């Protein structure tokens, strides 16, 4: 399996926009791609400027939303509860099989997690377990502002305990004129977390060209395809 697993410090931190930007940049460089969202919840919520995760990812990857997300639920709750409310249970073997099938044809796959690393699919199976089994390099989407140092370092610690191959933290959306706090957060996470920190600029619209332009500023090829690397200076 070649590709990336995108997790985040929380829900609504930019995982989908980061995943879509990466996919759009890969497509614009001629790569064949697949997107995978193991479970999507919250489809009952009205969508605003940004379409639901599986729709946005499907558009950029040239797939149908159902191909991207095999399990879809209405309530905006954790996957384990969404399934329970639907009278279902998420079978971890099926979850794994769907993710493996999505990444089996040699294309680059971007898997977007759900919530954060400890978000449960089932009572004793979390996003982190899926990421560990798939073994893809991991990116952590995080907010640039107040609170992000704690959330990001907690996520890094949880990832490292499970020996996930975390390649970078991506701060998103990174403002055109970052404040002292935002620049300090970026440097502090890099130093204390001993991790590469990159920044994703604000993407103007869900259009593929806007996503690709932002995604192209990220070193996705190195993340997908080579070993770990910690730059001495932040790239943004």
Ligand X SMILES: Nc1ncnc2c1ncn2[C@@H]1O[C@H](COP(=O)(O)OP(=O)(O)O)[C@@H](O)[C@H]1O
Binding site for ligand X (CB under 6 A): 8, 11-17, 50, 141, 172-173, 200, 202-203
- Give the shortest CB-106-to-ligand X separation in angstroms: 26
202 touches which of ligand X, Mg ion, none (CB within 5 to 8 A by kind)?
A: ligand X
Which residue, among 172, 150, 126, 160, has the nearest Cα to 21 in the 3D structure? 172
Which residues 38-67 are close enough to bind Mg ion by CB under 5 A?
53
H helix and E strand count, the chain: 10, 10
Nearer to ligand X, 145 or 231 (CB): 145
* Cα(236)–Cα(231) distance, integer angstroms: 11
- Give the shortest CB-23-to-Mg ion separation in angstroms: 13
Site string for Mg ion, 22-41 (x = CB under 5 A): --------------------
CB atoms within 10 A of CB 49: 6
* Cα(140)–Cα(155) distance, integer angstroms: 8
Contact 218, 231 (CB under 8 A): no
| Burial profile 70-98: b = 16 or more Cβ within 10 angstroms, e = fewer | bbbbeeeebbbebbbeeeeebeeeebbee
Nearer to Mg ion, 114 or 190 (CB): 114
Q: Name the catalytic one among 37, 49, 177, 209.
A: 37
Q: Look at the alpha carbons of 235, 114, 38, 65 in this order and tell me if their dihedral is positive or negative.
A: negative
> Residue 7 pairs with which residues in a beta bridge?
140
Q: Which of 7, 9, 14, 16 binds Mg ion (CB under 5 A)?
A: 16
37 is an active site residue: yes
- Give the shortest CB-227-to-ligand X separation in angstroms: 27
Nearer to ligand X, 91 or 219 (CB): 219
- Give the shortest CB-42-to-ligand X separation in angstroms: 9
* Residue of closest CB approach to Mg ion: 16
Interface ranges with Mg ion (CB under 5 A)? 15-16, 53
Residues annotated as part of the active site? 37
């Amino acid at each position: 399996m070649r590709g990336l697993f995108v997790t985040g410090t929380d829900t609504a931190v930019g995982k989908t926009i980061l995943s879509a930007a990466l996919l759009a940049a890969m497509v614009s460089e001629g790569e064949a791609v697949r997107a995978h969202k193991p479970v999507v919840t919250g489809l009952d919520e009205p969508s605003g400027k940004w379409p639901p995760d599986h729709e946005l990812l499907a558009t950029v990857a040239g797939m149908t939303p159902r191909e991207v997300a095999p399990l879809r639920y209405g309530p905006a709750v954790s996957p384990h509860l969404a399934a329970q409310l639907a009278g279902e249970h998420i079978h971890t073997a099926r979850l794994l099989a769907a993710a493996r099938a999505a990444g089996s044809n040699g294309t680059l796959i971007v898997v977007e997690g759900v919530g954060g690393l400890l978000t449960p699919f089932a009572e004793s199976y979390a996003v982190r377990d899926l990421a560990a089994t798939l073994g893809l390099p991991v990116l952590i989407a995080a907010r640039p502002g107040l609170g992000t140092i704690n959330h990001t370092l907690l996520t890094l610690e949880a990832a490292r305990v499970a020996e996930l191959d975390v390649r970078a933290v991506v701060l998103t959306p990174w403002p055109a004129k970052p404040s002292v706090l935002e620049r300090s957060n970026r440097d502090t996470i890099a130093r204390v977390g001993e991790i590469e920190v990159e920044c994703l600029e604000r993407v103007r619209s869900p259009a593929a060209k806007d996503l690709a332009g932002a995604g192209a500023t990220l070193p996705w090829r190195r993340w997908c395809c080579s070993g770990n690397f910690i730059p001495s200076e932040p790239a943004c």
